[in-house]
């Protein structure tokens, strides 16, 4: 048996032995759905040539909703349109099936703002979006702590310049500019109410796992913004790190140096063969 097959089998056995499954997901989870990889300046520039010479953290910053609203909504409007038009890959459904087969179910901890776990059928009560979601909005000026759905909100974006065309999304209370309910870089105005509710659901789920066997499977979580890696590493259980590049992991971890979908398909096949 090839070494990678042995690791797939070890992963399958860890999932089958678990009472519960924690799924950690970073940006690498969405690559197989066709979403861009912003890893490093080159990845960002490939996705957005209009921003060549600038970096992701410069653009994903709330300051632009004050300085240049059409640029701000050009970037986030383009992402909103892209995420709406992109279907979650088949691996999401497989993960949901794995979670449903465990006695204490599963929970998703993700830094992704694309909403794909919910679209793939995961219950909102079992997903923590630690950086928020592009599918929800808040007021730029902070006139209210309300967060509302972006459903029905359409942003027209010039694909060559990545600039939005008016009218731009408005606050439902004051009528001034709205912004995505996403935690950006240097963001002191993000309204965390929705994510705090998710956080409570997550902690309640973890509390019931005392003395139970937890397997933690982490997909495409990088080191530049290590929120997901840190969360997965701090939980007690078998850590399974799936990452084709950032493969360093604590002792005792299982490491699969491949993409998310490739790993899920191979492990699911192994689970079927083990029976």
CA distance 262 to 250: 23
Closest CA to 116 of 228, 31, 196, 181: 31
Block means of pLDDT (10 residues each) for the chain, length 275 residues?
90 98 96 86 88 93 97 98 97 98 98 97 97 98 97 97 97 98 97 98 97 97 93 98 96 98 98 90
Let me know how many helices (H) and strands (E) the chain has, helices first.
10, 11
Tell the residue number behind the tokens 């509390």, with chain if given.
207
Provide the whole-model pTM: 0.96
**Cis peptide leading into residue 130 (ω within 30°):** no
Q: Is the dihedral of CA 222, 113, 213, 5 positive or negative?
A: negative
For residue 206 the two structure tokens come to 């973890």
Closest CA to 198 of 87, 66, 108: 108
Q: What is the pLDDT of residue 275?
A: 72
Domain 3-274 has CATH 3.10.129.10: no
Q: What is the pLDDT of residue 86?
A: 97
For residue 181 the two structure tokens come to 């309910």
For the chain, the domains span 3-274
Q: What is the pLDDT of residue 1?
A: 53
């Amino acid at each position: 048996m090839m070494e990678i097959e042995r690791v797939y089998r070890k992963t399958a056995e860890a999932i089958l032995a678990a009472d519960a499954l924690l799924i950690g997901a970073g940006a690498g989870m969405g690559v197989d759905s066709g979403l861009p990889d912003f890893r490093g300046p080159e990845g960002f520039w490939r996705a957005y040539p209009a921003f060549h010479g600038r970096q992701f953290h410069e653009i994903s910053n709330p300051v632009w909703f004050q300085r240049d609203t059409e640029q701000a909504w050009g970037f986030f409007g383009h992402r909103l349109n892209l995420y709406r038009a992109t279907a979650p890959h088949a691996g999401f459904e497989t993960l949901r099936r794995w979670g449903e087969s465990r006695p204490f179910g599963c929970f998703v901890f993700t830094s992704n703002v694309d909403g794909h776990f919910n679209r793939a059928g995961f219950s909102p009560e079992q997903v923590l979006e630690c950086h928020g979601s592009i599918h929800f909005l808040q007021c730029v000026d902070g006139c209210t702590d309300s967060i509302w759905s972006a459903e029905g909100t359409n942003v027209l974006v010039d694909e060559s310049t990545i600039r939005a065309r008016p009218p731009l999304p408005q606050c439902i209370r004051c009528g001034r500019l709205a912004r995505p309910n996403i935690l950006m870089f240097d963001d002191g105005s993000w309204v965390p109410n929705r994510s705090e509710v998710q956080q409570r659901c997550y902690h309640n789920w973890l509390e019931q796992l005392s003395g139970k066997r937890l397997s933690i499977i982490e997909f495409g979580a990088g080191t530049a913004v290590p929120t997901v890696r840190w969360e997965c590493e701090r939980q007690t259980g078998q850590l399974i790190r799936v990452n084709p590049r950032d493969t360093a992991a604590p002792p005792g971890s299982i490491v699969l140096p491949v993409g998310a979908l490739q790993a899920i398909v191979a492990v699911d096949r192994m689970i079927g063969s083990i029976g």
